[in-house]
């Protein structure tokens, strides 16, 4: 069963926030058939330590505007995880993204097309 429409919509809002703060290499993975706890992982890269934190803050702000609050926020300077239960947002530095390769680890999960990525391709 694919990720719910509400979680997919939440993912689109988070992806727009990431893009607005110039996050790169975004990918959304539908984990609904693989995990019990989360439906979607949104993974993005920040160019430096400040940007990783800035992206995470902005995602939180934009989701708070629509009534969503993370169950928790964890992280280091190079990796921030925002847990919205059904949506988990990972913002990583390039170094950690290449090291942990979450998108490769979950490669067998379907991808969710992100509107923001589609819009960029259309330009």
Instruction: Note the pLDDT tens digit of each residue in 51-93.
Output: 999 999 999 999 999 999 999 999 999 999 999 999 999 999 9
CATH code for the domain in which residue 97 is found: 3.30.460.10
> pLDDT at position 121, please?
47
Domain that holds residue 75: 5-117
The whole-angstrom separation of Cα 17 and Cα 96 is 21
- Give the Cβ contact number of residue 25 at 10 Å: 13
Predicted TM-score (pTM) of this structure: 0.91
- Looking at the domain assignment, is residue 35 inside a domain? yes
Check whether 22 has a pLDDT greater than 90: yes
Give the chain's domain count.
1
> pLDDT at position 37, please?
74
- Looking at the domain assignment, is residue 122 inside a domain? no
Q: Which two tokens stand for residue 67?
A: 């009534």
> pLDDT at position 33, please?
85
Distant-in-sequence, close-in-space partners of 14: CB < 8 Å, separation ≥ 6: 42, 59, 62, 63, 87, 89
Q: Residue 58 in contact with residue 80, Cβ under 8 Å?
A: no
Instruction: Note the pLDDT tens digit of each residue in 24-50.
Output: 999 999 998 886 678 999 999 999 999
Q: Considering only CA atoms, which of 119, 2, 74, 122 is closest in space to residue 26?
A: 119
- Looking at the domain assignment, is residue 123 inside a domain? no
Q: Is 13 helix (H, G, I), strand (E, B) or coil?
A: helix
């Amino acid at each position: 069963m694919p990720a719910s429409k509400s979680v997919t919509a939440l993912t689109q809002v988070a992806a727009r926030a990431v893009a607005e703060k110039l996050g790169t290499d975004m990918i959304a993975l539908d984990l609904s058939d693989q995990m019990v706890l989360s439906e979607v992982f949104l993974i993005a890269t920040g160019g430096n330590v400040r940007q990783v934190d800035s992206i995470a803050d902005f995602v939180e702000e934009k989701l708070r505007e629509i009534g969503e609050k993370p169950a928790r926020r964890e992280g280091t300077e190079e990796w921030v995880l925002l847990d919205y239960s059904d949506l988990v947002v990972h913002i990583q530095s390039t170094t950690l993204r290449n090291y942990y390769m979450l998108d490769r680890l979950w490669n067998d999960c379907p991808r969710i097309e992100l509107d923001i990525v589609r819009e960029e391709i259309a330009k």
